Chain A
Amino acid sequence: MWEGSLNGERTMDFELSDEQRLLQDSVSRLMADRYSFEQRKGYLKTPEGFSAALWSQYADLGLLGLPFAEEYGGFGGGAQEIMLVMQAFGRALTLEPYLATVVLGGAALRHGGSDRQKAAILPAIAEGSMKLAFAHSERQARYDLTDVLTTAKRSGGGWVLDGSKSVVVHGEAADKLVLSARTSGDRYDEHGITLFLVDAAAPGVARRGYATRDEQRAADIALSNVAVSDADVLGEVGQGLAIVQRVVEAGIAATAAECVGAMEAMHSMTLEYSKTREQFGKPIGSYQVVQHRLADMFMTMEQGRSMAMLATMMVDQPDADERARKIAMAKVGVGQAGRYVSQSAIQMHGGIGMTEEYAVGHYFRRCMAIERLFGDPAYYLQKLAA
């Protein structure tokens, strides 16, 4: 499926399979029908801040079960299929909790979930009746994945959770939280972090939802004396960090693709604008200084696309060090590309690019959010340099 053939010899291959092309087409069609910039404004006005109707359509199209095994109601897709979907979502600036539920929640279950947990959750996600959120980051942690202060203490046959999680993407919409807490060790210890599946409506869970700069929803979550059972532990007690890392890697790859979609949209809008906007009696695209900026945007976008492909290919790479290193490189490359392309898009548009009524500024802010999700380029450069 993934390897081409040339003169009988297999070679490195960048082409999509027929099934993948089909997937790409159907998502793009749905976006064209249901996700114009005007329609999106309507979805933003709902209390959830996204379209519940589209969420059902994603389920009908099989997108919500895309990366899950068939036995759990899924379609057995992988990182490449997620890449195609996220890229289309990036072009349309979708608002639904797909990243939180399918990508992050799905990765947590894939890498940590027992058969029983998968059977209980994945089919519900696939049919659209359950949403997840990945509640790991804390206020003090910045991008450090080991900085966990929330505690889980033994109590009777189960655990009691106390602490708080900060800027949890789509934490408000979630039915269940994939939540990390310390079962042993001190702040920054790599061991002693444990993941729990926590019912978002459980007594003691308080959620404060808000809009983020990119018009998505997030929540701060306070946990006070929240009781969970042993059956709610995801993976091994004290071994949660490895799962967290896999979840973050899947998130980086998926948002890299989303960022590529957003860059494509900004680049083509800017190109279109340069052909129609006239100054000094000529379209601004006839001026070489504008042309070269557009060429720079194009080159940067293509380098970003290469890095998003790299991240996607690395998600399932078994060598953990190689995987982490290449994904860190991709995170730096895509983040820097997204920043350059979006800043240039506003600059080339001039005043209109600054307005809320125009789409470019909305793509700009999504790229800005993606750059900071799971760690920014400076953070990963430091890691690579260490």
Chain B
Amino acid sequence: MDLRFTPEETAFREEVRAFIRDNLPTDIRDRMRLGHGPRKEDTVRWQRILNKKGWAGLSWPKEWGGPGWTAIQKMIFLEENQVAPAPELSSFNITMIGPVLIQFGTEEQKKRFLPRAANLDDWWCQGFSEPGAGSDLASLKTAAKLDGDHYVVNGQKIWTSTAHHADWCFLLVRTNPQAAKRQEGISFLLVDMKTPGITVRPIISIDGSHHLNEVFFDDVKVPVNMRVYQENKGWDVAKFLLGNERTGIARLGKSKERVKAAKAMAAQVNANGRPLIEDAAFRQRIAQLEVDMQALEITQYRVVSAYDKAKGNGRPDPLSSVLKVKGTELLQATTELAMDVAGPLSMPVWAEELAAMNEPDDMLEAASASTGSYLFLRAASIYGGTNEIQKNILTKAVLGL
């Protein structure tokens, strides 16, 4: 047992940090430092820079353009990228559809999609949830009927993040409504978002942003060769996707970055005639968050190191549910902290009217953005399997109840 980074790992961290410092475009860095989420172009630009360096494939095998990192190295990269702060890699492309195609795809599918996914030439979205199928995903109803060499898809998906940016969607559909078990009648399709019959309707979330969508499918034709794995075996693919590579789920680097930002702002605002950063109660709140982040960091390395030991062939570690729950609790607590520091400045919405009225005001902009993060990340304990579902997973997988 050795919780210290080896010299190789420390050198790797230095290399990653230096690369990000030297290559992250200044305008992106400035926006992110103020707490804004990345724009679509920001994410595309940065992922292409990383892909050119050979780093975008994260955990993909070298043969498909992955960097060949250990899970610990991957962890280090993700943390440095979040702390920078730089736009995160498209998780739909890199940790979802990429590994799925590598595991289940045909040679043709791999060749066609993997290089474009790594370079973000195709922006992918995930068509899983439906109005009647949230945590109970297997009850999904969107139907696909085989008609010659293509499926005809009808139904509706919801909470589809970035569908309005997307070129392609990986979609769970019901191909056998008569199957004995609901899980046995589902297939996994790849759908071109430009196909006639697809309508994307925005859902504005409580932070005022357009991230979520409803997607309607009305007699949408999908060629049979766009099905991944066997017909009616899509649930196996979905389970692999959901269980795969959850080690990055804690997004600890993001929490660290939010605490860093909160501290910086706390040095600039006053409480009772002194900088807030000197307030004892505030400092203890930060200390408690740092303790919790420290514990999660070690837990994360325990999971990741076990993953490395199993050479990536291990079943998903149920401890990854601990990472999801504790990680998102921290994400919510740290964004809440940043907003609390901003105080009354957290309330204005940084939008065109405000930007037009004022001289550049970084403090107000950052304060407003911190509230946006706080609001948006209320979803963190809901997406990716709600935290309650994670506890159900632990109940089954670890406790055997």
Q: Footprint of B on A, CB under 8 Å?
A: 2-4, 6-7, 9-16, 20, 80, 271, 274-275, 285-286, 288, 291-292, 294-296, 298-299, 302-304, 306-307, 309-310, 313, 326, 329, 332-333, 381-382, 384-386
Contacts and interface: CB of A to CB of B under 8 A. Distances in A.
Contact of A294 (B4, B70, B305, B395): B395
22 contacts: A3-B2, A10-B8, A12-B4, A12-B9, A12-B305, A13-B2, A14-B305, A271-B401, A274-B401, A285-B399, A292-B391, A292-B395, A294-B395, A298-B398, A299-B326, A299-B394, A303-B292, A303-B295, A310-B3, A313-B1, A313-B3, A332-B288
A14 B322 contact: no
A215 to B, nearest CB: 29
Given A11-B308, A291-B401, A302 B299 contact: yes
B7 to A, nearest CB: 8
A286 B306 CA distance: 30
Contacts of B301: 12, 14
Nearest to A2: B2
A38 B112 CA distance: 68
Interface of B: 1-6, 8-9, 70, 72, 280, 283-284, 286-288, 290-292, 294-299, 301-302, 305-306, 308-309, 319, 322, 325-326, 388, 390-392, 394-395, 398-401
B70 A7 contact: yes
Contacts of B391: 291-292, 295-296
Question: Which residue, B2, B280, B290, has most C-beta atoms of chain A within 10 A?
Answer: B2
A329 B283 CA distance: 14
Given A4-B305, A12-B301, 11 more contacts: A6-B309, A11-B305, A12-B5, A12-B6, A296-B391, A298-B399, A306-B302, A310-B298, A332-B288, A381-B284, A385-B284
Contacts of A13: 1-2, 305
B325 A299 contact: yes
Most buried by B among A14, A16, A296: A14
B2 A291 contact: no
B326 A303 contact: yes
Contact of A10 (B6, B296, B326, B390): B6
Contacts of B394: 295, 298-299
Nearest to B301: A12
A11 to B, nearest CB: 5
Contact of B322 (A299, A333, A381): A299
A93 to B, nearest CB: 23
B294 A310 contact: yes
A340 to B, nearest CB: 13
Contact of A14 (B1, B288, B395): B1
Nearest to B294: A329
Closest A-B pairs by Cβ, 3 of them: A306-B298, A385-B283, A384-B287
A303 B1 contact: no
Contacts of A295: 390-392, 394-395, 398-399
B3 A384 contact: no
B6 A3 contact: yes
Contacts of A4: 305, 308-309
Given A14-B305, A385-B284, A294 B401 contact: yes
Contacts of B395: 288, 291-292, 294-295
Contacts of B295: 303-304, 306-307, 310, 329, 333
Most A CB within 10 A of own CB, among B1, B296, B326: B1
Given A298-B399, A306-B295, A15 B72 contact: no
A385 B286 contact: yes
A286 B298 CA distance: 32
Given A286-B401, A299-B322, A332 B291 contact: yes
Contacts of A292: 388, 391, 395
A385 B280 contact: yes
B287 A80 contact: no
Nearest to A310: B298
Contacts of B299: 302-303, 306
Contacts of A294: 395, 399, 401
B399 A12 contact: no
B76 to A, nearest CB: 10
A295 B401 CA distance: 10
Contacts of A313: 1-4
A274 B284 CA distance: 37
A258 to B, nearest CB: 17
Contacts of A296: 391
A207 to B, nearest CB: 37
Contact of A382 (B284, B286, B297, B322): B284
B40 to A, nearest CB: 35
A110 to B, nearest CB: 21
A14 B309 CA distance: 10
A24 to B, nearest CB: 12
B291 A80 contact: no
Contacts of B5: 12
A10 B11 CA distance: 12
A351 to B, nearest CB: 22
Of listed A12, A286, A298, residue having the most chain B CB within 10 A: A12
Contacts of A2: 1-2
Contacts of A306: 295-299, 302
A294 B97 CA distance: 34
A182 B9 CA distance: 46
A12 B298 contact: no
B1 to A, nearest CB: 5
Contacts of A6: 70, 308-309
B385 to A, nearest CB: 13
A78 to B, nearest CB: 11
A216 B284 CA distance: 33
B136 to A, nearest CB: 14
A15 B310 CA distance: 12
Given A11-B308, A291-B401, A294-B399, A385 B287 contact: yes
Contacts of B399: 271, 285, 291, 294-295, 298
Nearest to B308: A6
A6 B284 CA distance: 40
B294 A307 contact: yes
A286 B309 CA distance: 34
A332 B5 CA distance: 23
Candidate in A4, A298, A386 with the most chain B CB atoms within 10 angstroms: A298
Contacts of B294: 307, 310, 326, 329, 333
